[in-house]
Amino acid sequence: MNNIKDIATQEKFTGNQFFTIAVIPGDGIGPEVTQQAVLVLDAIAQKFGHHFDYTYCLMGADAIDKTGTPLPEETISVCSKSDAILFGAIGHPKYDNDPSAKVRPEQGLLMLRQRLQLFANIRPIATYPSLHHLSPLKGKQLIDVDFIIYRELTGGIYFGEKKSDDAQTWASDECIYTKEQVERIAHLAFKAARQRKKKLTLVDKSNVMETSKLWRKVVKDMALQYPDVELNFLYVDNAAMQIILNPKQFDIILTENLFGDIISDVASIISGSLGLLPSSSIGISNALFEPIHGSYPKAAGKDIANPLGSILSVAMMLEHLKLFKEAKLVRDAVEWTIQNLFVTKDIDPVNFYFTSTVGELITEYIHGRVTGVFNQENVELRKSTII
């Protein structure tokens, strides 16, 4: 594992923006999509005169195989000192097929979220007109779909005390939330709504759950601080249905950990491919960026995984680092590849392009080498020469 450069090294880049990035490739297709995301960051650095210093870290099944733990202390140390964390994916069939395994790859991500207090998962949901045919929703339902889910990450049932008897005849999972946990993510959601359509929807189950009653009371009280934001409420079952029936009604959705996990997966089908969707996890002093897809081990090493979710996560990272022009350029590049159907196998199983080719095309766009006339033969040969 490389060491992050010290302040003296940063001084060599006076006049440029210098950032330390912890990179966690993870398992399955994680390393492949992360590699393309890093290439995009390198292209941005070259174009705008920035410097990104990468430190590669272990987490997940890869970390278990090499260290015996899904999250080594060295990874936590590096991530805590970095300006941002770029993460690929975790998971492996040998653990998926053994639910009794005491040590599992997913524990690494849960532990990292808790140790770094990454309390807010932010997942944008949008559609691309040229890909509407891939969505299970009808075309008229997809027009102008653009909303963001804010999911609390460090509380709730996932982190509560878990009990069961030896005979496995009963089990319980404790769900706990505090006012402070609700407030810190709700402030982020309200502020985001102010910058968009000024509409926030709280998703809960306050008709049966005490934690949801707390969420609703706290958020209602906080709404007085944001009188310009329209606040609505939906029970989680209705919210899941409404996301499918009429997704364009939403702007900012705020919810707790378990509900957020469920409805964000429901919403992910809208775009037509899990490979298109990015996310960020924001903490008090750290931030992690990752595509929403899993490790997809069957595709690992075949150069067919969709890198766009990881690359769009880089755009979210750049915005977090206040590099807004750079983030827009990355998003423009992604939209250009989609519009021109330079897409991977998950989107077009017949006329598809390789993971590395899509990444190269995006870097070509960033460097301004796109003229609109393409040497199709070179692209098909996994090159990205554009004339």
Residues 133 and 258 in one domain: yes
Q: Which residues are catalytic?
A: 158, 205, 237, 261, 265
Verify that 199 and 225 share a domain, yes or no. Answer: yes
Instruction: Check whether 9 has a pLDDT greater than 80.
Output: no
Q: Are residues 263 and 173 in the same domain?
A: yes
Question: Domain of 192: which CATH number?
Answer: 3.40.718.10
Asked if the structure places residue 122 within a domain, the reply is: no
Q: What is the pLDDT of residues 225-257, one digit of tens each?
A: 999 999 999 999 999 999 999 999 999 999 999
Answer yes or no: are the C-beta atoms of 85 and 78 closer than 8 Å: no
Q: Are 122 and 148 in contact (CB under 8 A)?
A: yes
Would 355 be classed as within a structural domain? yes
List pLDDT tens digits, range 361-374. Answer: 999 999 998 755 55
Q: Is residue 281 a part of any domain in this protein? A: no
User: How many alpha carbons lie under 13 Å from residue 101 in its C-beta half-sphere?
Assistant: 19
pLDDT in tens, 72-120: 999 999 999 999 999 999 999 888 777 677 889 999 998 999 999 999 9
What is the tally of structural domains in the chain?
2
| CA dist list (Å): 92 to 27, 52, 61, 71, 139 | 7, 30, 6, 15, 36
Q: Does residue 310 sit in the same domain as residue 361?
A: yes
> Greatest CA span in the chain, whole angstroms?
69
Q: What is the model's pLDDT at position 372?
A: 55
- Asked if 135 and 69 sit in the same domain, the reply is no
> What pLDDT, on a 0 to 100 scale, did the predictor assign at position 72?
97
Of 2, 15, 11, 24, nearest in space to 286 by CA: 24
Residues 64 and 184 in one domain: no
Q: Is residue 279 part of a domain?
A: no
User: Does pLDDT of 135 surpass 60?
Assistant: yes
| Residue whose token pair is 């460090």 | 154
Distance separating alpha carbons of residues 302 and 127, to the nearest angstrom = 27
Could you say which of 274, 302, 334 is where a domain stops? 274
pLDDT-derived band of residue 380, with 50, 70 and 90 as boundaries? low
Given 211, 244, 274, which residue is the final one in a domain?
A: 274
Asked if the structure places residue 252 within a domain, the reply is: yes
Torsion of CA 367, 368, 370, 371, to 10 degrees: -160
Q: How far apart are CA 93 and CA 169, in angstroms?
A: 28
Question: What b-and-e string marks burial along 364-376, b requiring 16 or more CB atoms within 10 Å of the CB?
Answer: bbbeeebeeebee
- With vertex at residue 213, the alpha carbon angle to CA 210 and CA 217, rounded to the nearest 5 degrees, is 145
Parent domain of 357: 1-116+286-387
Q: What does the pLDDT average to over 35-44?
A: 98
The answer to whether residues 94 and 22 belong to one domain is: yes
Asked whether residue 327 is assigned to any structural domain, the reply reads: yes
Is the pLDDT confidence value at 376 over 70? no
**Is residue 63 located within the same domain as residue 93?**
yes
Average pLDDT, the chain: 91
* Same domain, yes or no: 29 and 151: no
Q: What is the mean pLDDT of residues 62-74?
A: 96
